[in-house]
Amino acid sequence: MRVAFVTGASRGIGRATALRLARDGWAVGVNYLRGEEPAMDVVKTIEEMGGSALAVRADVADARAIGRAVEEVAETLGRISGVVCNAGIYMRRAFHEMTLEDWERTIDVNLTGAFNTVMATIPHLRRGGGSVVFVSSQLAFRGSSSSVAYSASKAGILGLMRGLVLQESHHGIRFNAVAPGTIDTDMISGYSEERRRARAREVPLGRIGRPEEVASVIAFLLSDESSYINGAVIDVNGGLYMR
């Protein structure tokens, strides 16, 4: 059984990805930070499907903690060959209200967290190859009206991915990213009904996306079906910004 490690898999896109990967036959390391109960629920759901999973608590911003989580998953489930750098936060702050702490926490979780996750898993990936998928955002390409740090972190992830393609692909490791538009998860739970409708109207498909619609693209990029795709960024946005 192939083994995947998914960060931020207790909720939203990460949860949908863990469940999708399990359905595709992967054993899954389910990383979480605060959501122990929802992470355990992901594991239980996977086990009920006949799959294998292990929940591991770690702050992705903490290199040692994520290193320990990765080793625990590898010892329990086997060599990790699929990695999904998904954990992320969005702190809504106008620039004039933003503090250095807000900036640093966003960069630490969204960008350094992805770096830490690759650093911790790369010894496993180098032994036999694998695939890494980064969860970026449409806000990597556009300015954000509510967090400059978020846009910077998501653009930074693409720089990290491109460097890894050049430096690590010879080990048989592929690195790709997805750039979701607005997806219906807790990350947008603060939106009013009116704002949700306005967001949906901006999208040519006329609706906000579902976490499962991002998970299926991540699963494709982790699978051998995408064996010659390396360094790609796939938009999962319903056609946003075509106008």
**Which residues of the chain form contacts with ligand NAP (CB under 6 A)?**
7-8, 10-14, 31-35, 59-61, 86-89, 109, 113, 135, 137, 180, 182-183, 185-188
Q: Which is nearer to ligand NAP, 27 or 39 (CB)?
A: 39
Residue number with CB closer to ligand NAP (126 or 199): 199
Dist CA 146 CA 169 (whole Å):
36
Would you say 10 or 226 has its CB closer to ligand NAP? 10
Q: Which is nearer to ligand NAP, 119 or 172 (CB)?
A: 119
- Strand-pair category, 3-6 with 27-32: parallel
Write down the catalytic residue from 32, 90, 150, 191.
150
Taking the complex as a whole, the smallest distance from the CB of residue 160 to ligand NAP amounts, in Å, to 13
Residues 231, 163: Cα–Cα separation, whole Å: 9
Minimum distance from residue 67 beta carbon to ligand NAP (Å): 13
CB of 135 to ligand NAP, least distance (A): 4
> Is 150 marked active-site?
yes
Minimum gap (Å) between residue 51 Cβ and ligand NAP: 19
Mind telling me the catalytic residues? 150
